[in-house]
Structure 1
Amino acid sequence: MQASDLAFGDAVQCGRSLSHLTRHPVQILKGGYQRFSAMYHFLRTQKVIWMPQELDAFMPYPVEIVPGKIYMGDFKQACDPKVQKNLKIKAHVNVCMETGPFFEGDADRLLHIRIQDSPEANILPFLRHACHFLEIHLELGSVILVFSTQGISRSSAIVVAFLMHSREQTLKRSWDYVLKCQNNMCLSRNLVAQLSQWEKIVLGDIVTDISNPRY
């Protein structure tokens, strides 16, 4: 939420002052620190000054796609016990060749779609199964992590496809949503073309013009 859109208060006053000193938008967390603390207690810290080596070693968390329900990340995050514990991850959708350490052999909690990170990757045949897996776990109240090697291509394709399916919306709208969550999302032209075909399956027609350079 932009500072300019909020009622006047200490946080808003500070945000408006800062907005004059930066080219980037100053945003204020809705609900304030109390809400943030309740949802992401594991990110709280009393530390004010960080050394450069500490910042270099900082482990980012997966991005939140559906708040408290679906996260998207990379293989390293999927192998980190701390991430699994803090986010209360109960199921994995693994879209890379590597095998992670969690839920191995448990088909109810692990969907492993073995796809090479290559221009010829064929993900379309797996989309319906992936969407079904995610739907089941959402109904069960499980928290799911969707991941690939770097967390920007194959996992993004699965998440975009799921949003198209579950919300019955266009590729463009789903793409924009995921891009807002993961601003370095980068899909090959082949994967985009397959998502276009998925749009036709979901909506009955191709709506999004993927010739647009943004895709």
Structure 2
Amino acid sequence: MYTVKNTREKYLQETCGATDVELIYIDSIRQLRRSCPRSNTIANSQPSEILDSWLFQGNWEHANDSKILDSLSITHILNVTDKVLPDQSRQILHIRSKDGRSAELSAAFQETNTFLDTCHQQGGRVLVHCERGVSRSSTIILAFLMHHKQWTVPQAFEYLLTKRHEAIPNYALILQLVRCEHDLTQINNE
């Protein structure tokens, strides 16, 4: 009899080519979320401040609420959905992505990291969002924290959970982050 874990592992191995070592690492990363105190509701009335009053994470509603964006002085938006934002008053980077385990974001990490670095260097303020502000936007934020702070996936995830409790990338996205960490480690060791 298959459990959810067996089905998930089978998917990651057969579809994504995950190794046993990667599966164990992914499980340990997800344990960080399980050890974090839970809340019954998602506190999504406002975007979460992630870094130094310039990097925020939120959801689709936040990205479409000019009052929220203006109150936070948001100058840039990183949209990680399959929908187009109507806002033309801010600089927007749109990474088209559907929700679910078939989401492929690793190919966009360099572009999103560059966008966020540039925004920060220019003194801008950016909202990174997806539909619910839980999985895809968390993945982009984690990739940036790994790049910007030279953190591992667990270090970045532990930090993000202190800022946005509802952050929880799906397993396929965590696998992409694990592989990104491996690549960053190789580059830093050269």
How does the TM-score come out when normalised to structure 1?
0.64
What CA deviation, in whole Å up to 9, does each residue of 1:31-58 have, x standing for no partner?
A: xxxxxxxxxxxxxxxxxxxxxxxxxxx9
In structure 2, what is the Cα distance between the partners aligned to 1:168 and 1:204? Answer: 12
Determine which structure has more spread, i.e. the larger CA radius of gyration.
1
Give the superposed CA RMSD: 1.7
Distance 2:141 2:186 in 1: 20
Match of 1:200 among 178, 182, 185: 182
Partner-residue secondary structure (3-state), 1:204: helix
Identity across matched positions, percent: 28
Given the alignment, which residue of 189, 199, 215 partners 2:171? 189
- What whole-Å deviation, never above 9, does each CA across 1:121-176 have from its counterpart, x for those lacking one? 11100001000000001000000000000000000000000000011111110011
C-alpha distance 190-59 of structure 1, shift in aligned 2 (>3 A): closer
Change (3 A) 1:59 1:185: closer
Runs of 4+ displaced beyond 4 Å: none
Does the Cα contact within 8 Å between 1:169 and 1:203 map onto a contact in 2?
Answer: no
Aligned position for 2:39: none
Picking from 117, 126, 150, the partner of 2:108 is: 126
What does 1:133-144 correspond to in 2, within 5 Å?
Answer: 133-144=115-126
Q: Would you tell me which structure has more helix in proportion to its own residues?
A: 2
Runs (5+) with no aligned partner, structure 2? 1-42
- Paired position in structure 1 for 2:140: 158
Per-residue CA deviation, residues 172-208 of structure 1 (Å, 9 max, x unaligned), is 1001111111112121110000000110121228xxx
Shift of 1:101: 2.2
Q: Which runs of 5+ in 1 are unaligned?
A: 1-57, 206-215
| Corresponding position of 1:180 | 162
- Does the 8 Å contact 1:91/1:103 carry over to 2? no
Aligned to 2:93: 111
Amino acid in the other structure paired with 1:85: D
> Partners in 2 of 1:70 and 1:102 — Cα distance?
19
**Relative contact order (C-alpha < 8 Å, sep 6+): which is higher?**
2
Aligned mates of 1:203, 1:165 — CA distance in 2: 10
